Structure 1
Amino acid sequence: MPTAVPPAPADLHLDVVTDAHRPAQLPLLSRIAELLSASPAVTHLLVRGSLASGTADRLSDVDFVVGVHDRDVPAFISALDDLMTVAGGALLPGWRDTIVADLGGVGFVFLVQHEGKLQQVDLYLAPASRVSILRQTVGWKVLLDRPPADITIPQIDQARAHIADLTARPRSCTELLIEHLVLAVLLHKRIRRGQRFIAYGEWHMLHTATKDLVKAALAPHSRFWGWYQLREELAPTPIGRACLADLDVAITSPAVPDAAAVDAALDRVLTLTERACPEALDGLADAVTAYRTYLESV
């Protein structure tokens, strides 16, 4: 049963995104904004992207910058997956976003069930000490602006160190599987919009994630960077040879995919995961089944 969410604070200004338009994503935006703003750790909430500029279409994501008091950054990040899956309706833990620009924080992408469809919610968490700088570089509308309690230099250093450690940590097989699931949603949206150049880039990201998944499963202590020495490391075992065959199919596919190619890649990666690192699916089987159903409505 979802956790009860406290009432939205009086200082949460949702009206700023409805002045010029009423996007179809507004109920979801409101729900996630209320959920986040209920935490005393959250000092700022900005909405950016197409919902802030009034150019959203039915495929647009819900894109937040979340300012968190520097002292609370480690605890808030640790609790975020539970918050979003239990109370926010996310199907899966968040993918640590490697597409978003580095603005001194860390981004997460969640796939959220909303009105029978799968919606993308992007959360960029930034220490409160960075928010004034973010406001100079990001187009936004301010939903919440709470003056934070005093922020000390040790708290700033702790927040920066935690984010640096998180972004440097090698990703697990489960995290890499979730990356595939998120990228498949993104690719379907790019294809429907005719965004061929972006689809090309994200298609390459998906293939790279497949390579990283294979290496994390079968060569976790590899001394080689990127795509180097894959055959030498993987070919000695039957599982390794099967994974190399999957990678070969991936890299010889068309440079810009269609929807069928994305679906085939997803099937291939799920089969590869069951073969090479089945533990990555532990606890996710029902979520993946629901994801495949919702993906048809993206």
Structure 2
Amino acid sequence: MSSTTLTPAVPQVPSELTLAALAEANRPAQMPLVTRIAEALSPSPAVTHLLVRGSLASGTADRLSDVDFAVGIDDAALPAFVTSLNDLMAMTTGALLPGWPDSIVTDLGGLGFVYLIPHDGKLQQVDLYLAPASAIPALRREVTCAAVLERIPATPTGGAQRRAAAFVAERTARPRTCTELLIEHLVLAVLLHKRIQRGQRFIAYAEWHLLHTATKDLIKAALAPGSRYWGWYQLREEIALTPIGRACLADLDEAVTSPAVPVADDVGRALDRVLALVERACPNALDGLSDALTAYRTYQELA
């Protein structure tokens, strides 16, 4: 019996992609990655807009800047597109991990995802904000964007708009899984290394607190998923009932008593702590991520 190796089809890049003006305005080191993302997303007929935003759109990018896209999706196609996004990004861009559902992005009527993609010998942060096509005009009034693809979307029906809005609301409100919270730690560690390299102490302080909060959320998701208490309340009463719970709270205590503004070694120790915590409290969160975590650590060591 012969075996057949299936390889992804090469995307047919639409002729309407307009990347030249962006490249001429910026000449950023990230431009090949911008092109790669645009060529991965644009073949889908569901994609109506590809808008580069952030520092690349304003011409203020440096070598550490992330790649930030707002992506317009036909209202009726939004649920199916979001559901398939991780597979699409892994297959066409080599995204190392599933996208982190960004919980700190500004609400502009859509859903944010952060991917870590190998590029030029390091992990590059790629932010994708997927919004229904009907929400794009309002988004563009709020955010400076440089358009690299614009298609005239079909006029959405009222039902399609309502279903898209309901889908966004449901995805935003649902509890995050242990795997998503682990990926949040990995993404925040990349952000923290960037802040440390830039000397952005106040932003590093804020994102360090976000990382500790993600650790608390991970412990609660693993050991008290039905918690009736908000935030940091009643942690000891709910968690410290078992040896595993007490060990996890000891990890959290070590995290919150670490220096307020981290250095690179602090971030590395925090990741070691969290990975040990996951193996102890919710090992199934690591399913399928072994190779990705090995690659992630290698890129972090080379950064």
The question of a shared fold, defined as TM-score above 0.5 by the shorter chain, is answered with yes
Aligned match for 1:50, one of 40, 49, 55: 55
Matched with 2:196 is 191
What is the alpha-carbon distance in structure 2 between the residues aligned to residue 270 and residue 100 of structure 1? 25
Conserved? CA contact 2:110–2:132, under 8 Å: yes
**Shift, 1:234, TM fit:** 1.4
Mark the runs of 5 or more structure 1 residues left unpaired by the alignment. none
TM alignment of 1:94-173, pairs within 5 A: 94-173=99-178
Q: Could you list the structure 1 runs, at least 4 aligned residues long, displaced by more than 6 angstroms after superposition.
A: none
Matched, 1:279 2:284: yes
Conserved? CA contact 1:2–1:87, under 8 Å: no
What is the alpha-carbon distance in structure 1 between the residues aligned to residue 112 and residue 21 of structure 2? 23
Aligned match for 2:14, one of 9, 15, 24: 9
What is the alpha-carbon distance in structure 1 between the residues aligned to residue 204 and residue 130 of structure 2? 26
**Shift, 1:296, TM fit:** 2.5
Conserved? CA contact 1:17–1:141, under 8 Å: yes
- Deviation readout 1:143-188 (Å, 9 max, x if unpaired): 0110011211100000000010001000110010000000000000
What is the alpha-carbon distance in structure 1 between the residues aligned to residue 7 and residue 23 of structure 2? 28
| Aligned residue type for 2:226 | H
**Shift, 1:2, TM fit:** 5.7
What is the alpha-carbon distance in structure 2 between the residues aligned to residue 150 and residue 137 of structure 1? 22
TM-score for the superposition, normalised by structure 2:
0.96
- Deviation readout 1:60-115 (Å, 9 max, x if unpaired): 11100000000000000000000011211100000011221000111000000123
Aligned match for 1:235, one of 240, 251, 276: 240
TM-score for the superposition, normalised by structure 1:
0.98
Q: Secondary structure at the match of 1:91?
A: coil
Q: Percent identity?
A: 69
What is the alpha-carbon distance in structure 2 between the residues aligned to residue 2 and residue 124 of structure 1? 28
Conserved? CA contact 1:190–1:196, under 8 Å: yes
Aligned match for 1:26, one of 27, 31, 42: 31
Matched, 1:36 2:41: yes
Conserved? CA contact 2:26–2:56, under 8 Å: no
What is the alpha-carbon distance in structure 2 between the residues aligned to residue 28 and residue 20 of structure 1? 16
Matched with 1:69 is 74
Mark the runs of 5 or more structure 2 residues left unpaired by the alignment. 1-5
Conserved? CA contact 2:224–2:238, under 8 Å: yes
Q: Secondary structure at the match of 1:39?
A: coil
Matched with 2:3 is none
